[in-house]
Structure 1
Amino acid sequence: MSEAHAIQIISKADFTAQSLTPAPSPSTPLTAPSSVRIQTRLISLTTNTFTYAKLGGNPLLAWWNVWPLPATVSPDTHCRISAWGYSEVVESTVPSLPVGTELFGYQPIGTRVEEIQLIEGNVPGDYDVVLPDDGLRKGLNPIYNRYHVFGDESNESKGLRVLFYALWQTGWMLNQHVFAWEGGFKPSHPFGAAGGDGWDAKKADIKGAVVILLAPSGKTGLSFAHELRKGRPEGEQPEKVIGVGSEKSKGFSESTGLFDEVLLYEQVEDIERIAKKGQKIVLVNFAARGQAADTWASALDEKFGEDNVTVLLVGADPSATRPPVLYGKAMDPASNVYQVHAGLIREKGIANLGSAEAYYNAQNAAWGRFAGDGAIPAIEIKWEKGLEKYKAGWQALADGHYGPETGLVFEL
């Protein structure tokens, strides 16, 4: 296996500055126990991928610290990141993972063959990464260290999964576990067990509420809106689901049919029209531009009172020079602002259900319904082939040539 391959290298100072660097794959036979060598076959490219590149230096996220850099590349100035997708096992010392097995998970961007050590997880088909001694993957959330074998899938099914699955899970968890209803799952704090016991059935109850999504056109926001509409009993629905975004994305968000109304960031005065005094309001920030999240939260608190407003922070604008004030308020347990941590919600959900298998059975059943609906039909998947195409797609997405109506999937 001596053929030279290439990997994507990114500047830590500017995620739009990227290159393809030759990187030879291992040439000696694999002998390490419980190990596989994998080669990426299918990955997505989304604005969320840019978040990994922009914020990956945070040691609490560690997205820059997953795959080894070539000796010719300085770790002080450059990094590698990952994308959600499928890789193929090309060598293996794991009996249950023969050559040719496809693994879904957090994949290296490139054609170089990479080596990881895996152990079977608590759910059939799940495999967890054994952390290497060299410090790679240290601090990484467990979701990024988990790979799964899904078995035979059509190309269409794979395309939907690489594009949506990781982001859809957050939307599903928010709907099913954070905003749980009587007869469903036990409510989970947006920050999981680490958030304490302050999130009860009253806080989780959103029937009759107005739910406002900031930056709703991203795949996480759309997935949450989809689950609010189609993943709740009729009597547990919010009264309204409102999207608030940019002029550029407004038409697309409206075309999904998931929102009662779509407003622009600057239309904050419309809060008097979309909600009533005493009505519960939930504001969910999925990465609003600039200080829009602060502006909307402040206006809602002033008009309706903090006791009637709940703010959840899911994402952040990767281009912002400073974080919204809300992220400081989320540190105060007495405030109405909550930081969302998908990994911790998952852990709390597993604990509430009593087993990982029960949790993932419920999640997979819900994914089947979502995918069966065609996910978000307003998004058209654009298939491309080759690492050079991926590099070009990265630049095109960064330059704004693709809107939310296009989902980018690449065969490598």
Structure 2
Amino acid sequence: MTPSWTFAVGRDDLGRTTVADGPAPELADGEALLRVDRVGITANNVTYAVLGETMRYWEFFPAGPRGLGAEWGLPPLWGFAEVVASTVRGVEPGQRVYGYLPPAGHLVVRPERVDAGGFRDGSVHRAELPSPYNAYRLTTGDAAYQAAREDLLILFRPLFFTSFMLADQVADNDFYGARTLVLSSASSKTAYAAAFELHGRGPRLVGLTSPGNVAFTESLGCYDTVLPYDRIVDLDLDPTVYLDLSGAPGVRAALRECLGDRLIRDIAVGLTTGIPNADAAGEVFFAPNQMRKRRRDWGRDGLDQRFADAWQRFAAVAAGWVDVHAGAGPEDLRQAWLEVLAGRTPPRVGHVVQL
């Protein structure tokens, strides 16, 4: 039987890692086997692990069936996989899919709602988890797919979906009446993709970042103003919405002190510092909620086409903003994980690993 492996991290210490070897899983009726092919490691994946308990991210790929104890977790990744075996009509060996994948050699899925665009994993343990993470898109039926830009899709697509939905929600609410939108962690991919979508549509965009990332963030051209965190006092006293992607308590406190009641909305979007920010913010943005609204408004095909159009515009520009660092195998996956976890990855760098 074909050998397989699984990379796992300590649920109480994300810097503790292990690789467990084992045989490739066998299939039951109604299942298909995916060989995980090419994945990315970004701060987004660290977020899944940090929020693994509270947001149930550990439950997508349980460690137990892979021979690992309860102290281990599998941080979900995004990327491409190949169907290598299937008992399901319409899901055929050789098909290539994009979706939510474990840091492992293989994944067993139970395809449902199979159509020309792909399928959903109907495995029992995923039934109560957020449905957008259970979709697997065939490259042949994906309006956003371009073979030459696979690495961009790996690195940016889940982030860009969040950015696209965030920008859409802000615009859908008439920018909450703000004249200024402030985004923290402005050099992060999720932040500047949202800024790309929002730029020129009304409010002034201000990006907050660390002093060492100011020049890079300014070079993107997505923000009207870029400030280091220690210059928050230079903000104009406009009605302001804060889109918090950093999770840093000190930044929020400084912003509230500077703006006072001019801070009319405080929205937690994610975190890149490893400090959960949901409790301190006024509200939390969750992309699937806005996605469900737009599916009602536009229909599934309408949402997919709008996303694909936005992605193609963004990808054409973002190709010049990222340097792909490509690795191969479990050890390079581990090294990329540890580097991103420690915050050592420069904003221009994106880690992609061929498995």
**How high is the TM-score relative to the length of structure 1?**
0.79
User: Secondary structure of the residue that 1:223 maps to in structure 2?
Assistant: helix
| Distance in 1 between residues matched to 2:352 and 2:66, nearest whole Å | 30
1:342 and 2:287 aligned:
yes
Q: 1:388 aligns with which of 318, 323, 331?
A: 331
1:163 and 2:155 aligned:
yes
1:149 and 2:135 aligned:
no
| Distance in 1 between residues matched to 2:273 and 2:230, nearest whole Å | 20
1:119 and 2:116 aligned:
no
| Distance in 2 between residues matched to 1:287 and 1:114, nearest whole Å | 32
Over 3 Å counting, the alpha-carbon distance change for 1:141 and 1:297 in structure 2 is farther
1:179 and 2:138 aligned:
no
Q: Residues 211-233 of structure 1: CA distance to partner in whole angstroms, max 9, x if unpaired?
A: 1111111111011011112xxxx
Over 3 Å counting, the alpha-carbon distance change for 1:45 and 1:128 in structure 2 is same
| Distance in 1 between residues matched to 2:6 and 2:28, nearest whole Å | 24
Over 3 Å counting, the alpha-carbon distance change for 1:329 and 1:318 in structure 2 is closer
Are 1:222 and 1:376, in contact at CA under 8 Å, matched by a contact in 2? no
1:398 and 2:353 aligned:
no
User: Secondary structure of the residue that 2:15 maps to in structure 1?
Assistant: coil
Paired-residue identity, %: 23
Are 1:116 and 1:129, in contact at CA under 8 Å, matched by a contact in 2? yes
Structural mapping, 1:111-260, within 5 Å: 111=105, 113-120=106-113, 124-132=116-124, 136-137=125-126, 139-151=128-140, 155-176=147-168, 178-180=169-171, 187=172, 200-201=173-174, 204=176, 209-229=179-199, 236-238=201-203, 240-260=204-224
Segments of 5+ residues of structure 2 without an aligned counterpart are none
| Distance in 1 between residues matched to 2:134 and 2:273, nearest whole Å | 23
User: Secondary structure of the residue that 1:87 maps to in structure 2?
Assistant: strand
How many residues align structurally?
A: 351
Instruction: Read off the aligned partner of 1:222 and give its amino acid letter.
Output: Y
User: Secondary structure of the residue that 2:230 maps to in structure 1?
Assistant: coil
Instruction: Read off the aligned partner of 1:49 and give its amino acid letter.
Output: N
1:270 and 2:215 aligned:
no
Match of 1:20 in 2: 19
User: Secondary structure of the residue that 1:250 maps to in structure 2?
Assistant: helix
Match of 1:192 in 2: none
Q: Residues 66-123 of structure 1: CA distance to partner in whole angstroms, max 9, x if unpaired?
A: 2242564211x11112200011100112222210111111011121x221101126x8
Match of 2:103 in 1: 109
User: Secondary structure of the residue that 1:297 maps to in structure 2?
Assistant: helix
Over 3 Å counting, the alpha-carbon distance change for 1:298 and 1:138 in structure 2 is farther
311-320 vs 91-100, which moves further: 311-320
| Distance in 2 between residues matched to 1:313 and 1:390, nearest whole Å | 29
Are 1:120 and 1:128, in contact at CA under 8 Å, matched by a contact in 2? yes
1:312 and 2:267 aligned:
yes
User: Secondary structure of the residue that 2:259 maps to in structure 1?
Assistant: helix
Larger-gyration structure (1/2): 1
Give the C-alpha shift of residue 127 in structure 1.
1.4
User: Secondary structure of the residue that 1:74 maps to in structure 2?
Assistant: coil
| Distance in 2 between residues matched to 1:300 and 1:80, nearest whole Å | 41
Are 2:176 and 2:265, in contact at CA under 8 Å, matched by a contact in 1? no
Q: 2:310 aligns with which of 358, 363, 366?
A: 366
Instruction: Read off the aligned partner of 2:312 and give its amino acid letter.
Output: G
Segments of 5+ residues of structure 1 without an aligned counterpart are 181-186, 188-199, 331-336
Are 1:245 and 1:264, in contact at CA under 8 Å, matched by a contact in 2? yes
- In proportion to residue count, which structure has more helix? 2
Give the C-alpha shift of residue 396 in structure 1.
2.6
User: Secondary structure of the residue that 1:16 maps to in structure 2?
Assistant: strand
Are 2:39 and 2:353, in contact at CA under 8 Å, matched by a contact in 1? yes
1:73 and 2:17 aligned:
no
Over 3 Å counting, the alpha-carbon distance change for 1:298 and 1:345 in structure 2 is farther
| Distance in 2 between residues matched to 1:349 and 1:298, nearest whole Å | 35
Match of 1:184 in 2: none
Give the C-alpha shift of residue 31 in structure 1.
4.3
Q: Residues 126-170 of structure 1: CA distance to partner in whole angstroms, max 9, x if unpaired?
A: 4112132xxx33542111111111229555311010100111011
| Distance in 2 between residues matched to 1:91 and 1:405, nearest whole Å | 37
Q: Residues 43-80 of structure 1: CA distance to partner in whole angstroms, max 9, x if unpaired?
A: 0000111111222112xx211112242564211x1111
| Distance in 2 between residues matched to 1:65 and 1:56, nearest whole Å | 8
Are 1:290 and 1:317, in contact at CA under 8 Å, matched by a contact in 2? no
Q: Residues 173-223 of structure 1: CA distance to partner in whole angstroms, max 9, x if unpaired?
A: 2223x133xxxxxx3xxxxxxxxxxxx54x5455xx221111111111011
Match of 1:289 in 2: 248
281-290 vs 293-302, which moves further: 293-302
Are 1:62 and 1:138, in contact at CA under 8 Å, matched by a contact in 2? no
Instruction: Read off the aligned partner of 1:140 and give its amino acid letter.
Output: L
Give the C-alpha shift of residue 258 in structure 1.
1.6
- In proportion to residue count, which structure has more strand? 2
| Distance in 2 between residues matched to 1:374 and 1:88, nearest whole Å | 28
Q: Residues 349-378 of structure 1: CA distance to partner in whole angstroms, max 9, x if unpaired?
A: 11122x21221121112112222x232522
**How high is the TM-score relative to the length of structure 2?**
0.91
How large is the RMSD of aligned CA atoms in angstroms?
2.3
